[in-house]
Amino acid sequence: MCVTAHYIDNEWVLRKRVLNFCPISSHRGVDIGKALEMCLLKRGMESNIFTITVDNASVNDVAVAYLKSKFANWENSILKGKWLHVRCTAHVINLIVPDGLSHIGNSVDHVRVAVKYIRQSPQRLTKFKEFAEIEKCMSTNSLILDVPTRWNSTYLMLETAQKYERAFGRYDNEESHYREDLDKTGVLTSTDWANVRRLAKFLEHFYELTLKVSGTLHVTANGFLDDITFIDAILNNCLCSDKDKDLVSMANLMKSKFDKYCGGLKNCNMATIVASVLDLRNKFEFIEVLLGDMYGNIEMKSMCAIIKASLVELYEDYVSIYAPEPTSMCDFSDSPSSSNKRSKSVVMEPSSMLKEKVRMEMKRRKSESIIQDSKSELDTYLNEDVEDD
């Protein structure tokens, strides 16, 4: 089990450190949770843990639930671990895409067989490169054979192969054994190439998004809402396609898996939504537009109310933990001056005592009014204009 910490240092630089890398004796969720708990305790990190990001294995749900029960008793645990569990976006994408690829048809298999055939022999590869030069294929990349269980390698295979379409065609025309050896299963047709180009363009969105969310030198949480909105838009566009039934079928399967992990607020960690609001370019105006496009204005308003309440809850939790002790503006009775005045009240005239009491009450009410009328830092932030990109 590898445990990696991400934190911002005193110079506001994002850091990444491996805390632990060790074998674990059990893959039960509770045991994983205990192993992670011991790692944090040994490091003296039983406070200030905000979120834990894991992949979507069911045992990890159990592990995080165990840790959440422990975090409730740890010092400075933000919201008592309420937003502790974050699902890895890159892993969600890795679950969504293969579901669709499994129903895309035979074109991917044809490319795989053809690429494998060329790469099996140095002589074939040399001949293929000669044909690529003759056909002026504008690519210097080598042919890539994918690992079928890793969709991103399938994308890279298709993306590279399509650039050599004319070279594959010339190889087929000039090498008589090509068709015989493949028994026609890897002979690529114009229909196959059309499918490959369309599929590669579709998968490119998810490949680029995977690279984006896997970044470790910059904060990625504030882009989460953009990312899931982008995926939703891509899938919806494919579902509206009336030209490619395979792509529609693929998008349907992917949309079902997407909704399972990212559909609606209930399936998202609120910390990632709040992170988008805390992006100076976004705030609530951005959230309203995105959610309005995805769910309609009525549902958007109820969602924004939930997000606002969550944001205030988080802010108040930080205030309770980190805000400096307030000066005793209200409790004048405990101040040294009031104590002296109380000791002198024995010899004060009744009229003076009454006047002092009135003055103290006036001060108390004034201080309460100032506190009630003042805006919090959060309110001030939300009311300021957004920044440009």
80 and 94 co-located in one domain:
no
208 and 235 co-located in one domain:
yes
Query: What is the phi/psi pair of residue 43, to 5°?
Result: -85, 0
Question: Residue 61 burial by CB count (10 A; 0-12/13-18/19+): exposed, middle or buried?
Answer: middle
Q: What distances in angstroms separate CA 216 from CA 8, 13, 254, 278, 340, one per listed residue?
A: 12, 11, 27, 19, 60
149 and 161 co-located in one domain:
yes
172 and 121 co-located in one domain:
yes
**What's the chain's Rg over C-alpha atoms?**
31
100 and 36 co-located in one domain:
no
* pLDDT at site 280: 92
Look at the chain and count its residues.
389
Q: What is the pLDDT along the chain (389 residues), one digit of tens a residue?
A: 999 999 989 999 999 999 999 898 899 999 999 999 999 999 888 777 889 999 888 899 999 999 998 887 877 778 888 888 988 888 888 888 887 777 776 888 899 999 999 999 999 999 999 999 999 998 888 999 998 778 889 999 999 999 999 999 999 898 888 888 877 666 888 888 988 898 898 889 899 988 888 887 888 888 888 888 888 888 888 888 766 777 788 888 888 888 888 777 777 888 888 999 999 998 988 888 888 887 888 888 998 999 999 999 999 988 888 877 655 444 444 444 444 433 334 444 566 666 677 677 766 666 555 555 567 889 889 988 889 88
DSSP state of 168: H
Q: Which domain holds residue 365?
A: 332-383
The span from the CA of 311 to the CA of 313, in Å, is: 5
Is residue 31 within 8 Å of 25, Cβ to Cβ? yes
97 and 236 co-located in one domain:
yes
- Is 313 a domain residue? no
81 backbone φψ class: left, alpha, beta (φ>0; ψ -120 to 50): left
124 and 251 co-located in one domain:
yes
134 and 225 co-located in one domain:
yes
Residues with Cβ within 8 Å of residue 66, at least 6 apart in sequence: 29, 30, 33, 34, 37
- Is 130 a domain residue? yes
The span from the CA of 100 to the CA of 255, in Å, is: 9
3-state secondary structure of 22: coil
How many distinct structural domains can be found in the chain? Answer: 3
Query: What is the phi/psi pair of residue 301, to 5°?
Result: -65, -40
The span from the CA of 93 to the CA of 254, in Å, is: 9
* pLDDT at site 352: 65
- Is 353 a domain residue? yes
